[in-house]
């Protein structure tokens, strides 16, 4: 008799219920091996469009396509069992109309099997968020620094450093929460503003460069592991894997140059000799 042990995944509703509760742990992952490691600890894993910069060496997330997001979403889904998987909607895949957003969000859900999508923007996207949620698409919002708007923001700049900017950012956060999003990424905003957003919205806030005042935190995995070159100022280092990769690659190169077989010596030995 076979016994099936089914581990149920965290759902968007589980995350929603964590408002003001145990802090929510999340990280990005784009590939199967990394996702499998992160799955052991994360409540949700974001297949972020930051993959454009981290994996593909692009200058921004603007050129990232829906097909890229779907391929990486599929890889992360295959390697994980427990965490909620959230896939970013890339620039150009949702802003044109509510219908375009729904069509592409449904492609992401159907083709990856993930549990939710994330999109950037506040007030201007609230109607779209409501349209998606009412039709069965769990949506995570993203306000503050919204990297897809790099060309209109004039760079990756912290938001809300001036108190005069606060009302607009607060209005963005409240609009996305009221539209039915299950949680909200708050990126690169001053601590008192993050605290005020967290107090005002009914859904969990997930901070990135937005202090510990949020209901949970997210970091780009490769940044916190020390694998990427240009790391934002707010990222604390939890490792320096680039150094270890360099050492391993150099050790391998030395073996090759010394004409030593780069593996256990016996592997290709003829049997009995
Ligand atoms: O794309 C991404 O990795 C993100 C995080 C920075 C929140 O949106």
Q: Name the helix (H) or strand (E) containing 106.
A: helix 98-112
**Using one digit for the tens of pLDDT, what is the confidence trace for 67-114?**
999 999 999 999 999 999 999 999 999 999 999 999 999 999 999 999
Interval between CA 165 and ligand 1 midpoint (Å): 22
Counting residues of the chain whose pLDDT is more than 90, the rounded percentage is 83
* DSSP state string for 139-203: EEEEEES-GGGHHHHTSS--B--SGGGHHHHHHHHHHHHHTT-SEEEEESB-HHHHHHHHHH-SS
Pairing type for strands 205-208 and 183-187 reads parallel
Q: The tokens 């992952």 sit on which residue?
A: 29
Q: What fold characterizes domain 12-240?
A: TIM Barrel (3.20.20)
| Residue ranges covered by each domain of the chain | 12-240
Report pLDDT digits (tens) over 6-51.
669 999 999 999 999 999 999 999 999 999 999 999 999 999 999 9
220 close to ligand 1 (CB < 6 Angstrom): yes
* Atom of ligand 1 lying closest to residue 120 CA: 8
User: 21: how many CB neighbours lie within 10 A of its CB?
Assistant: 10
Point out the ligand 1 atom lying closest to the alpha carbon of residue 50. 1
* 49 annotated as ligand-binding: yes
Q: Is the pLDDT of residue 234 over 80?
A: yes
Q: What's the CA gap between 131 and 138, in Å, rounded?
A: 11
Distances (CA, A) of 143 to 22, 183, 209, 239, 263: 22, 11, 12, 28, 49
Ligand 1 atom at minimum distance from 147 CA? 8
> Cα–Cα distances in Å, from 107 out to 16, 51, 96, 113, 184?
23, 19, 16, 10, 22
Choice among 30-34, 146-150, 242-246, 255-259 with the minimum mean pLDDT: 255-259
Q: Supply the pTM of this predicted model.
A: 0.94
What's the confidence (pLDDT) of residue 266? 63
Contact 191, 198 (CB under 8 A): no
CB atoms within 10 A of CB 70: 20
Q: Is the CB of 215 under 6 A from ligand 1?
A: no
Res. 142: pLDDT tops 80: yes
Active-site positions read 187
Query: What's the token pair of residue 232?
Result: 């934002």
Q: Is 48 in the pocket of ligand 1 (CB under 6 A)?
A: yes
Torsion of CA 226, 231, 232, 234, to 10 degrees: 20
């Amino acid at each position: 008799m076979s016994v099936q042990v089914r581990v149920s995944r965290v759902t968007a509703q589980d995350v929603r219920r964590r408002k003001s509760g145990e802090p929510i742990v999340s990280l990005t992952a784009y590939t199967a091996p990394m996702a499998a490691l992160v799955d052991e600890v994360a409540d949700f894993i974001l297949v972020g469009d930051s993959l454009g910069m981290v994996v593909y060496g692009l200058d921004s997330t603007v050129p990232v396509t829906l097909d890229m997001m779907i391929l990486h979403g599929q890889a992360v889904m295959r390697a994980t069992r427990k965490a909620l998987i959230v896939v970013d909607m890339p620039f150009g895949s949702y802003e044109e109309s509510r219908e375009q957003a729904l069509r592409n969000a449904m492609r992401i859900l159907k083709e990856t099997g993930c549990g939710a999508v994330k999109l950037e923007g506040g007030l201007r996207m609230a109607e779209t968020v409501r349209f998606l949620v009412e039709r069965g698409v769990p949506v995570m919002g993203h306000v503050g620094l919204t990297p897809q708007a790099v060309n209109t923001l004039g760079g990756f700049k912290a938001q809300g450093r001036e108190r005069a900017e606060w009302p607009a950012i607060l209005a963005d956060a409240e609009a996305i929460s009221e539209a039915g999003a299950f949680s909200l990424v708050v990126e690169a905003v001053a601590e008192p503003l993050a605290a005020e957003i967290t107090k005002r919205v009914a859904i969990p806030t997930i901070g990135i460069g937005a202090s510990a005042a949020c209901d949970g935190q997210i970091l780009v995995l490769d940044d916190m592991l020390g694998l990427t070159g240009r790391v934002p100022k707010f990222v604390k280092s939890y490792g320096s894997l680039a150094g270890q990769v360099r050492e391993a690659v150099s050790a391998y190169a030395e073996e090759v140059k010394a004409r030593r077989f780069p593996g256990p010596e016996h592997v290709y030995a003829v049997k009995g000799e």
